Homo-oligomer: A and B are copies of this chain.
Amino acid sequence: MSNFVAINRIYCREDYRARFEQLFATRAHAIDRMPGFLGMQVLRPQRDGEPYLVVSFWESKEAFEAWTGSPEFLEGHRRGFEDVRRAREQGQEPPMRSEFVTYDVIAR
């Protein structure tokens, strides 16, 4: 049962949205191998100005933190990180920025 939820809020440049969605439609599934990982959902907001949400469900905070320090984390983000790196090298604004917010599940 999911006791811990991490939400990655992703603010995408308009011209990067199709690429962003394609990255997740073809995601690496590296995270699926992590102990304590229970599932994820990628959420497209129905209101302008809201970020995409990448929601992952975990057995515990420790399981989530083990993932963020793992080779699977790098593998799962490789193409996105590369897009951001390339934009920076070319002096452009990064195509997306993101921030994690974490939560305890207190009721169901």
Q: In the complex the two chains form, what is the Cα distance from A2 to B41 in whole Å?
A: 9
Chain B binder among A68-76, A87-95, A98-106: A98-106
The smallest C-beta distance from A93 to any residue of chain B, in angstroms, reads 24
Main secondary structure of the interface of A (DSSP, over half): strand
| Identical subunits present | 2
**A39: which B residues are within 8 A, CB to CB?**
108
Is A42's CB within 8 Å of the partner chain B? yes
Give per-residue flags for A12-42: 1 if the beta carbon is below 8 A from chain B beta carbons, else 0. 0000000001001101000000000001111
Interchain CB contact under 8 A, A24 and B103:
no
**B-binding residues in A (CB < 8 A):** 2, 5, 7, 21, 24-25, 27, 39-47, 50, 53, 55, 101-108
